[in-house]
Structures are given as C-alpha cells and as structure tokens.
Amino acid sequence: MSLINEVITVVGSYLALILIVVSAINIASSKWLFVWLRVKTSGGRKLLVHVRTVTQDYFKAGTVDKGFLVFKDSNKEERRILLLDDCIIKSGGVNNIYIDDTKSCVMKRNLEAVGGFDATKYNDLYLRALYKPQIYDNKEKILFAIVVVTLLAVLLVGYLVYANTGRVDALYELIGRMGSIKEVL
C-alpha cells in the first residue's frame, strides 16, 4: 500500500505544479491561453480577437458572419465590426485579428486603425432590421379576404345543397313530369 500512496503523491504533486504553471501563464497573458485553446480547437471557425484598449489589452474568441466580425467584449456585449481586406494575421497556429477599442475598428497588418463607428449601436440596428416584423401589402390583405369570403360562400352553398337534398330530388321529378306532359299535349 505504501508504494501506491507514494505514486499518488508524486502524480498529484506534478499535476498541482502543472496546474499552477498553466494558471500563472494564463493570468500573466491576460487570459490568452484559454482563449487560444478555444480558438485552436474550433477548427478554423473562430478567430483570436486581440482588443487593444487605452489601459490594457484583452483577448476574445470571435466569428465571421457575413463580412462582420462578431465577438463579445469585456462588458459581455456583442459587437459587430466590419472586416477589411488584409486584416487577418496568422500567428500561433490560429487566425488573429486586432481591434482598436477606442476607434471601434479593425486594425490592418501594420497596426494602423482604419475608420470606425459605434459597434454596439450598429449591432443593435442590424439586429433590429434582421428581426423586423413583416408588413403585408394592402393588395395581399384584400386578396386574402376575397379567398376567405369565397371559401365561406362555397361552404354555405354546399351545406344548403346537402340540407335540401330531398327538395332537389322532388324538383327533378316535377321537371321530368312537366316534360312528359308537354310531349303528350
């Protein structure tokens, strides 16, 4: 039993040391390590977003959606920024993109910021336009009303014919007799 206890102690010590080193690297690199691992394991669907602020830099995982970079900033708000040509940099085995937080824009390879806009406001407008209610044209409403009224009229006529089937048969007999009377006269 003593050998198993020693093996467990040694393995536990090494695991604790590895955990402390990985945590220290993650803290020292502004949480870069775990974000990098998330981007690396995504298989190219995500980008490593390096957001440069006035006081500090931070890293987030982002995706490309219809020509826009979509990621959540440090305040957990979704941001949507227009991508430019030649702005994605491949380093560390993943695709990186640099964002200037003060101008709210993508930076080129030479770290020059190009034009900016309010990404939060733009994202709100984009989502508002995406989920806007459908407005039907008056012609479509009139056509729909005509179809409904026609269906109701057909159903009403069908019911009246079904309810008065005996009377219709008697009418056919009467017409048949009248035709034979005219032939006799």
For residues 142 and 167, membership in a common domain is answered with yes
- What value does the mean pLDDT of the chain take? 81
* Residue 23, in any domain of the structure: no
Please indicate, yes or no, if residue 55 is contained in any of the structural domains. Answer: yes
Domain count of the fold of the chain = 2
**Tens digits of residue pLDDT in 59-89:** 999 999 888 889 998 888 888 888 877 788 8
Residues 142 and 85 grouped into a single domain: no
Answer yes or no: do 69 and 147 share one domain.
no
Domain that holds residue 41: 31-130
Q: What is the 3-state secondary structure (H, E, C) of the chain?
A: CHHHHHHHHHHHHHHHHHHHHHHHHHHHCCCHHHHHHHHHHCCCCCEEEEEECCCCEEEEEEEEECCEEEEECCCCCEEEEECCCCCEEEECCEEEEEEECCCCEEECCCCCECCCCCHHHHHHHHHHHHCCCCCCCHHHHHHHHHHHHHHHHHHHHHHHHHHCHHHHHHHHHHHHHHHHHHHHC
pLDDT, one tens digit per residue, over 168-185 is 677 677 777 766 655 544
Instruction: Among 109, 130, 151, identify where a domain stops.
Output: 130
Q: What pLDDT, on a 0 to 100 scale, did the predictor assign at position 21?
A: 92
pLDDT of residue 47: 92
